Structure 1
């Protein structure tokens, strides 16, 4: 099922914001190895969309 999305309500600005990779890793609970891999991939800054697509977040449940 599809629905109409009003472009005025949704904003791509959140996904295009540039984050510090180290801040993102700390907030998402990533280990140092994965943070290092993200820095090698993107440098010290990347968009939230890029970071979310390329990180493996730790599971919170069993």
Structure 2
């Protein structure tokens, strides 16, 4: 395990702002999930928020 100081970490990717619709298209989320994320965040959200809140059905089902 290695400790990383906050000033050395890369936070730019996590704080990048995405269009919720574009995120859903890129990650192949269905229309229901897109509508849920739009209700939750509005038209824009950070990449971190979208990744942690997106629900996607497993491919094997």
- Does TM, scored on the shorter chain, surpass 0.5? yes
Counterpart of 2:32 in structure 1 is 33
1:3 to partner: Cα distance: 1.4
Q: Which runs of 4+ in 1 moved over 4 A?
A: none
Contact 1:15 1:48 (8 Å CA) reproduced: yes
Counterpart of 1:48 in structure 2 is 47
Unaligned runs of 5+ in 2: none
CA distance in 1, matches of 2:18, 2:25: 12
RMSD: 1.7
TM-score (norm 1): 0.82
More helix by share: 2
TM-score (norm 2): 0.83
Contact 1:22 1:35 (8 Å CA) reproduced: yes
